[in-house]
Amino acid sequence: MSPTGPTGAVRVDNRRVFAIAGPAMLANLTTPLLGIVSTGAIGQLGDAALLGGVALAAVAFDCVFWLFGFLRMTTVAFTAQSLGADDRVEIRAVLLRALLLAAAIGLVIVALRLPLAHLIFTAMGGSEAVTAAATSYFHVRLWSAPLSLGNYVILGWLVGQARTGIALALQVGINLLNMILTLVLVLVAGHGIEGAAWATVIAETAGFLCGLVVVRMLAGNLYVARNVLLDRTRWLRMLSVNRDIMIRSAALIGVFLFFTAMGARSGDQVLAANAVLYNFLMIGSFFLDGLATAAEQLCGQSFGARDRTQFSRAVKRVLLWSVAFGAAVTLLFLLTGTHLIDLITTSPEVRGVARDFLVLAALAPLCGVLAYSFDGIYIGAAWARDMRNLMLLAFVTYLGVWYVLTPWGNAGLWIALLVFLLARGLMQMMRYPALVRAAFAGV
């Protein structure tokens, strides 16, 4: 890092942006491989109910753990801000507080695993065989909750210090071990769907233990005085920010669950086509999320250093590169989308329906540029209350547009999603100048 002064601020340039964004993008790209390996291994067993169970359980876990993604986000923000303020004690304290919170949440999830499984899978409405398989997987994998959430914290702590290369190595290591164990436990040892679940538990455990070793090596001394660790003001601030980001995440989950549910009402072919096209949205998010991660760290560090110049430079560079990546991915999908659809599905009917909505799906990365970028900026500055409020307003806008465009069927559903992405970003952009003025008043 290149300090701008006695604090921990850095000079923001393109190299700094991609030193963080690059590894984050690579880590994002490895995640889908895990799903492919798990699905492929279970698929070899020749039981459609088991395959459906894994798919159903995957959605359940995505919702549950996505809801607690604030553990990573706030840890990034508070660590980066402490780094910018050159407060080494608080950097350690942020980690320990977040780990305590992750352990508490994880243990509560484990304790509630039976009612959670009943509630989630009853709501999903799968067949009896699929629900039984999903429940079996869910009960085993849920034991990893404290460790998975602990890994969120460790990864966030590393990213908050711009150590994204180490974070990438840990995340890739967890995913690779998970893949290997899944193949061994499912196909070699014959443990079926529960073997896939235990593979995740073991991989998350190993990742957490390795993460603790890395943390100990980097921090040297993890000791934090009791009065600092349990400081009431800092705990209340952390819980307040976590609460707001959790509400924001719940609204975001609601958008995509509603999108899936409305697509299902249009028939199996439309549901399948939307699932195919949703992959385009996810691929675009891998790149935009990487740049948002850079915004979290660079904006957080500059914010903590009270350096308005570098904060503004980070915002401008992240926005510039996000627009470039968003436009490039959209153009790529417009040019190659039909071929990608054919690679994903062999069904002529699904291919035909997916092609009808290809242009709308291809526009999603470009429409989401501001939303992803400002999410990272707001997280870095811990502007969680505004982030929450604007997300809720965008959610209402989404529902309103969908209602108006209901006669348009699935096209109206996709347009509503694009408007949601645009609305989030534009509202955050409009609110941004006032937040900056208030945050850096007198600087």
Burial class (CB in 10 A: 0-12, 13-18, 19+), 148: buried
Percent of the chain having pLDDT more than 70?
A: 93
Q: Is the pLDDT of residue 362 over 90?
A: yes
- Say what the pLDDT of residue 429 is: 97
DSSP per-residue codes, 161-230:
TT-HHHHHHHHHHHHHHHHHHHHIIIIIS--HHHHHHHHHHHHHHHHHHHHHHHHHHHHS-----HHHHT
The residue-averaged pLDDT of 376-383 equals 96
Positive or negative CA dihedral for 343, 252, 144, 126?
negative
CA dist 158 and 101 (Å) reads 17
Inform me whether the pLDDT recorded for 105 exceeds 80. yes
The answer to whether the beta carbons of residues 368 and 284 sit under 8 Å apart is yes
Q: With a cut of 50, say whether residue 21 has pLDDT above it.
A: yes
Look at residue 370 and tell me whether its pLDDT is greater than 90.
Answer: yes
Tens digits of per-residue pLDDT, 146-196?
Answer: 999 999 999 999 999 999 999 999 998 998 999 899 999 988 888 888 898
Pick the closest to residue 388 from 160, 66, 152, 70 (CA basis): 70
pLDDT recorded at residue 377: 97
Classify 442 in phi/psi space as left (phi over 0), alpha (psi -120 to 50) or beta. left
pLDDT of 93 over the 90 cut: yes
Residue 95 has pLDDT above 60, yes or no: yes
Collapse the DSSP code of 277 into the 3-class scheme (helix H, G, I; strand E, B; otherwise coil) and give the result: helix
Residue 383's pLDDT is what? 96
Give the lowest-confidence range in 34-48, 187-201, 278-292.
34-48
Q: What percentage of the chain reaches a pLDDT higher than 90?
A: 62
pLDDT score for 48: 67
Local confidence band at 335 (pLDDT 50, 70, 90 cut-offs): very high
Tokens 């989950």 -> residue: 253
In the prediction, which pLDDT does 59 show?
73
Q: Is 1 helix (H, G, I), strand (E, B) or coil?
A: coil
Model's pTM, two decimal places? 0.90
What's the confidence (pLDDT) of residue 5? 42
Residue 7 is predicted with a pLDDT of 53
Higher pLDDT, 3 or 159: 159
Greater confidence, 6 or 44? 44
**DSSP assignment letter at 408:** G
At 275, the pLDDT band (50, 70, 90 cuts) reads confident
Shortest CA distance to 154 belongs to which of 80, 233, 230, 207? 207
* Burial status of residue 309 (CB atoms within 10 A of its CB: 0-12, 13-18, 19 or more): middle
| Choice between 44 and 158, residue whose per-residue pLDDT is larger | 158
How far is 297 from 108, CA to CA, in rounded Å? 30
pLDDT band for 124, please (50, 70, 90 cuts). Answer: low
Mean pLDDT, the chain, integer: 89
Element (H, E) at 107: helix 88-111
Q: Which of 5-14, 274-283, 402-411: highest mean pLDDT? A: 402-411
Closest C-alpha among 442, 263, 280, 424 to residue 364? 280
For residue 87, which amino acid is it?
D
* Confidence at residue 56, expressed as pLDDT on a 0 to 100 scale: 72
Q: 386: buried, middle or exposed (CB in 10 Å: 19+, 13-18, 0-12)?
A: middle
Q: Which of 434, 430, 389 is nearest to 243 (CA)?
A: 389
Identify the pLDDT of residue 405: 96
Burial class (CB in 10 A: 0-12, 13-18, 19+), 116: middle
414 pLDDT above the threshold of 90:
yes
Amino acid code (one letter) for 203: A
Q: pLDDT (tens digit, 9 = 90+) per residue, 339-351?
A: 888 877 777 888 8
pLDDT for 220 equals 82
pLDDT digits (tens, 9 = 90+) for 390-402: 999 999 999 999 9
Helices 410-439 and 232-265: angle between axes, nearest 10 degrees: 160
Determine contact, residues 415/397, Cβ cutoff 8 Å.
no
Is 76:379 a contact under the CB 8 Å cutoff?
yes
Q: Can you state the angle between helices 268-304 and 232-265, rounded to 10 degrees?
A: 160
Q: Mean pLDDT, to the nearest integer, of 370-385?
A: 96
- Give pLDDT, residue 34: 66
pLDDT higher than threshold 50 for residue 242: yes
Looking at per-residue confidence, does 202 or 9 come out higher? Answer: 202
Q: What is the DSSP string of 50-77?
A: HHHHHHHHHHHHHHHHHHTTHHHHHHHH
Distance of alpha carbon 63 from alpha carbon 68, whole angstroms: 9
Buried b / exposed e across 326-357, counting CB within 10 Å, b at 16+? beebbebbeeebeebbeebbeeeebbebbbeb
What mean pLDDT comes out for the span 422-441? Answer: 96
pLDDT of residue 39: 65
| Predicted confidence (pLDDT) at residue 2 exceeds the cutoff of 60 | no
Distance of CA 54 to the CA centre of its chain: 20
